[in-house]
Every structure is written in C-alpha cells, then in structure tokens.
C-alpha cells in the first residue's frame, strides 16, 4: 500500500530533498549530533590531508533521514574534492559503474546510497577498484571477447545503507572506516531545528522547538519537514507567529501525537495487541493484517518503535511493551483480563 507519511524518514519528493540540501551543514564543525562519528571523521580527514592521501573507503549505516548523505557531502568538502553521487538500484550493469569510475579524478569521492542493493555483477566489478584502483573491463563477446585492464585514480568510495545486514561480507570488509549513525537526542534535534529556522528566516520560541523536536522521532529530515508544516500553519492561522500552542495545533492536525506516532504506527501496535494478544507475532502476520509489505514494516514502521522501546523483537516475534500500552491508554491488567479471562 503506497502512502505519503509526514513522519516517513525517507524523502517524500525531489523538491523536498532540494529544500533540505539548502539546510544541510557544509563542514563538520556545523554538524550537530553523532559526536563520536564526527570526532573520528575529523581525525581520519586531518590524517589523510597531512599525508596528502585519499581517505580510506567509508561505510555509513543507520536508519534513513539521519544524515548519511550529508556526512558524505561534508567529507568531500573537507577533503577539497568533488563528489559524484549514485545509488545501488541505479547501477544495474558494470558498464554503468565503469563510466563513473573512469571519470573520477585523484581524491574524488564516489557516494553510493543504498549500497546493499547493488547487483552481484556490479558488486564484484567494484572490488578491484576499491582494492587496487583498477578494473578489468570485458569488451565484445564469445571468441572475440577480450579483457582490458583500466587503471583508476585513487578515490574514496562512501557507501550508505539502511540495511547493513544485507551487505555481503566481501563488500563490507573492503571498507576501512565503518560508522553507525543513530537516532538523535531531543536537545540535538532542537539545535538542528533552531538552525534551520534561522536559515528559513522563521522566528520560533523554545516551547515550539521542544514540541517539534520530541515528535520528530530523533530524525533531522522529519524535524525539518515538521518545521515547514508548522511555519505554513502559523502563516495562515497565526500571522506567521510560531508559539507553543501554534506548533502543537499544527502537528496534531497532521495526526502526529507527542511521541511522534501517526495513525499507521498506532494501528501497528493495536494489531499486535488486539489481534495477537500483545505478541509475540511474526512480521509476516503483522504485514498481512495491515495489508502492508514486510519491507515496509521492517524499514519504515519498526526502526523508531524498536529504538523508542514501544516494541521488542524476540526470537518468537514482535511483542509490545508496557510503554506502548501506557501510551495507548490500555491498562495491562484489563488487557490480561479481556484476553485470558482474568487469569
């Protein structure tokens, strides 16, 4: 089932991505959050620049919307190099990658988003490029086929993935630097929103910052999206003034509660509670009941609910937590009585 969710951590449209690009930090000193990752990147970049070398290949993994693409752009800027961007699904044949690799200059950055979705032929083609900075390209077919060895300039491959478990071991092991990007704290999101509001020339008070931040699911992309919705609401309903009350009304109008959940999240939790006695239940059963794809459940709905402690993933399946019952105003004792006859 295809739907547009305001709290979807993936881009809603190309136009939104263009708007977000203008809000992105340009250097590591402007980057908010992920302190350990930023500190380690600074050391790696400074060391490479002192040696006048390209950076090692870098792998960023973590849920969508947390800044993996932003960090890739920052790395290229900090290194004073050019960034060429592509994605796993877009590179379907070795020839697609050959054109990009041959155009890279010394020190350039090749960024591949959703790198776990590279096809096997393309993935195997990139191995010698990552290790030895050369590729073997086959031209013609059959008896006329011949292999041409093409040397490449030393470059840095930055891969981003939301599903690191789907990366093959040979590909993962070829990255010298591996960083996990995690959800942000509320105070970090507040800082990001305040910076974005300044760039958007929008006045916003601390109460509004908090309301937007706590409903943003620890994700900068969602925070910036909610900020724009609140700004629109304030412009029409409140003479452009964003105060606490305006922010709450604007976000609740979109069906998003104080924990950052929308209708689909709450429906997911209620399915487990009402249809499967609170769990454990397999993701396939939940997907069938919700009429959603399994990938949608695992990639879109569950990451935040798991991280926030509303759902527990066990060997037997998914189980809701006491926190989820409290949020939905379901008394655990009443639930047990209804489900198990008071036992």
Catalytic annotation present for 299: no
Catalytic residue from among 70, 162, 202, 246: 162
104-138: burial string, b at 16+ Cβ within 10 Å, e else: beebbbbbbbbbbbbeeebbebbeebbeeeebebe
Catalytic annotation present for 162: yes
For 78, counting Cβ atoms within 10 Å of its Cβ (0-12 exposed, 13-18 middle, 19+ buried), the class is: buried
Catalytic residue from among 24, 174, 221, 231: 221
In whole angstroms, give the CA distance from residue 268 to residue 1.
Answer: 14
- Structure letter (DSSP) for residue 28: G
Residue 208's alpha-carbon distances to 31, 195, 215, 246, in angstroms, are 22, 14, 11, 8
Catalytic residue from among 5, 8, 61, 68: 68
In whole angstroms, give the CA distance from residue 122 to residue 19.
Answer: 32
- Structure letter (DSSP) for residue 183: P
Catalytic annotation present for 68: yes
Catalytic residue from among 8, 24, 61, 69: 69
Catalytic annotation present for 296: no
Angle ∠(122,124,130) on CA atoms, nearest 5? 100
Catalytic annotation present for 36: no
Residues known to be catalytic = 68-69, 113, 162, 221
């Amino acid at each position: 089932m295809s739907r547009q969710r305001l709290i979807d951590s993936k881009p809603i449209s190309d136009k939104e991505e263009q708007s977000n690009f203008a809000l992105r930090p340009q250097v590591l000193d402007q980057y908010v959050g992920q302190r350990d990752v930023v500190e380690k990147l600074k050391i790696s970049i400074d060391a490479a620049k002192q040696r006048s070398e390209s950076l090692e290949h870098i792998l960023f993994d973590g849920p969508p919307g947390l800044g993996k693409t932003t960090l890739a752009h920052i790395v290229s800027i900090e290194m004073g190099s050019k960034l060429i961007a592509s994605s796993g699904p877009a590179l379907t044949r070795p020839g697609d990658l050959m054109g990009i690799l041959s155009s890279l200059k010394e020190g350039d950055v090749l960024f591949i988003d959703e790198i776990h979705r590279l096809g096997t032929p393309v993935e195997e083609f990139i191995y010698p490029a990552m290790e030895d900075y050369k590729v073997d390209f086959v031209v013609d077919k059959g008896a006329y086929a011949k292999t041409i060895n093409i040397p490449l300039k030393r470059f840095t491959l930055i891969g981003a993935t939301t599903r690191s478990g789907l990366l093959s071991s040979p590909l993962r092991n070829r990255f010298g630097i591996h960083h996990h990007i995690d959800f942000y704290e509320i105070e970090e999101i507040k800082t990001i929103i305040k910076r974005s509001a300044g760039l958007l020339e929008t006045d916003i008070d601390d109460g509004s910052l908090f309301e937007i931040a706590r409903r943003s699911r620890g994700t900068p992309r969602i925070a910036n999206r909610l900020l724009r919705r609140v700004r629109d609401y304030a412009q029409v309903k409140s003479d452009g003034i964003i105060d606490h009350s305006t922010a709450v009304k604007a976000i609740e109008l979109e069906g998003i509660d104080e924990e950052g959940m929308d209708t689909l999240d709450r429906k997911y939790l209620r399915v487990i509670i009402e249809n499967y006695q609170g769990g454990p239940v397999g993701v396939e059963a939940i997907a069938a009941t919700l009429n959603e794809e399994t990938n949608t459940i695992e990639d879109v709905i569950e990451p935040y609910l798991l991280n926030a402690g509303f759902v527990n993933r066990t060997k037997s399946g998914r189980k809701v937590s006491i926190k989820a019952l409290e949020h939905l105003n379901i008394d655990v004792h009443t639930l047990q009585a209804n489900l198990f006859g008071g036992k």
